[in-house]
Amino acid sequence: MRDIWIIAENTPWARTLAAAAATLSKGAKTIAFVNGDEAAAKDAIAHGAAEAYSLPLPADAPWEAYTPALADKAGKEKPSLILLSASRRCRDMASRLAALLDAPCFSEGKNITVSDAGVTVSTMLYGGLAVKTAATSAETALITIGAKDFEHGAADPSRSGKVGTLPLSSAGVTVTGRKPRVAQTVDLGAAAKVLGVGRGVSEQGDLVVIRNLAKAIGAEVGCSRPIAEFFKWMPEECYIGISGQQLKPQLYIAVGISGQAQHYFGIRDARTIVSINKDKESLMNQNADYFIPADWKDAVTELLKAVQK
C-alpha cells in the first residue's frame, strides 16, 4: 500500500483522521494536511503522521483554494487513500479533488476495509434507510470520515517529521468577510433527555405545553427540520437529523414526528425512543421502543400530570 493522506479542517479533526489512517494503513506512511499553523502540523506528527503540511486559513480566499496544489501533489505521489473530515470545507475539497484526479469519493464512509485488491466502503442511502457497500480498485480513493467514527490516541511529543506548506492558487473567489457562528443557546448534544417537536404540533403557541413538559422532566427541546427551516419556530441548531444535529440521549420523545429516515438518523443511537403520533403505522411509532398512538396534546398533558405527581 502507498501513502495515506489525511486532510483536516482543524486540529481535533487531524487527530481523528490520524487515528483512522493508523487503523487502515497497515504500516503505510501517513501524510497530513491541516488547516492551521506550524504547531498544527507538528501536532499531527505527534499523533502519528510521518510528514505534515500546515495550510493556514488565508485572509482573502477560502481554505479550499489549496485544492489545486493538493491535486497536483496527489497526481504525482498517488496516495492509495485520501481521508478527509466530513466537514463542509473538506467535503467541498474532497469533491473537487476527486474530479481533478478522476477518482471515486465516498461520503461519510464506514466499515472501511483495505486489501491489495482495493478498498471496500459502506455509505448510507436515503438518509440511513439503507447501507450501500461498494468496492473500488482505483489508484486513489477519497473518503470523508465522520467526527465520531475513530477515537484519537495520545500524542507522542518525541515523534518528529518533515513539516511544510503548500501554495495557494487564486480560484477566482475572494473572501470579503467572516462572521463567527453565534454561540448556541441550547446544547442538544449534551442533553440526557430530548423532546422532539414535529409538524404534528400544528401551532407555534402549542410549544408552551411541550416546554412545560421538558422542564418537568429536565429535557431539552429539539425539532424536525420543517419546524426550524420552514416554520422557523426554533433556531436551526435545534433540528435533529442527517442534515441537523445527531444525538445520543438516554431518552428521546418524538411528539408529532413522522420519523422519516433523515430525521431518525439523528436519534437512532438514543437509548430509549418514545413516539407520540396519532398514526399508529407511522415510521416513528414503528421504530420506537414505546409509542402512544394518540393526539399529542392529550398524551403530553397526561404525561405532564403524571410526572408532576
Length of the chain: 309
Closer residue to other proteins in complex, CB, 165/243: 243
Site map for other proteins, 184-203, x if CB under 8 A?
---------x----------
Nearer of residues 22 and 86 to ligand FAD, judged by Cβ = 86
Nearer to other proteins, 156 or 289 (CB): 289
The stretch among 36-44, 76-84, 156-164, 286-294 that binds other proteins (CB under 8 A) is: 286-294
Residue 153's region, left for phi above 0, alpha for psi from -120 to 50, else beta, is beta
Residue 262 binds ligand FAD (CB under 6 A)? yes
Backbone angles phi, psi at 179, to 5 degrees: -125, 120
Q: Interface with ligand FAD by CB under 6 A: which range of 33-41, 49-57, 77-85, 272-280?
A: 272-280
Which residue from 173, 184, 215, 235 is in contact with other proteins, where contact means CB under 8 A?
Answer: 173
The span from the CA of 225 to the CA of 242, in Å, is 10
C-alpha 54/C-alpha 82 separation (Å) is 17
SS3 of residue 84 by DSSP: strand
* Residue 257 touches which of ligand FAD, other proteins, none (Cβ within 5-8 Å per kind): ligand FAD
What residues from 284 to 303 belong to the interface with ligand FAD (CB under 6 A)? Answer: 295-296
Orientation angle between helical segments 296-308 and 207-217, nearest 10 degrees: 30
278: exposed, middle or buried (Cβ count in 10 Å: 0-12, 13-18, 19+): middle
Q: How many CB atoms lie within 10 A of CB 228?
A: 20
Among 244, 267, 273, 291, interactor with ligand FAD by CB under 6 A: 244
Cα(first)–Cα(last) distance of the chain, in Å? 64
Rg (CA), the chain: 23
Among ligand FAD, other proteins, none, the one that 120 touches (CB under a kind-dependent 5 to 8 A) is other proteins
- Subset of 35-54 contacting other proteins (CB under 8 A): none
* The three grid cell numbers given for residue 136, joined into one nine-digit string: 473500488
From the list 60-68, 77-85, 234-242, 300-308, the region that binds ligand FAD by CB under 6 A is 234-242
Rule CB under 6 A: which of 191-230 touch ligand FAD?
198-200, 224-227
Taking the C-alpha atoms of residue 288 and residue 204, their distance in angstroms, rounded to an integer, is 25
Least separation in angstroms between residue 200's CB and ligand FAD is 3
Pick the closer one to other proteins by CB: 212 or 286: 286
Strands 118-125 and 110-115, by their bridges, are antiparallel
Distance CA 273, CA 151 (A): 26
Chain residues binding ligand FAD by CB under 6 A are 127, 198-200, 224-227, 239-244, 256-258, 260, 262-263, 276-279, 282, 295-296
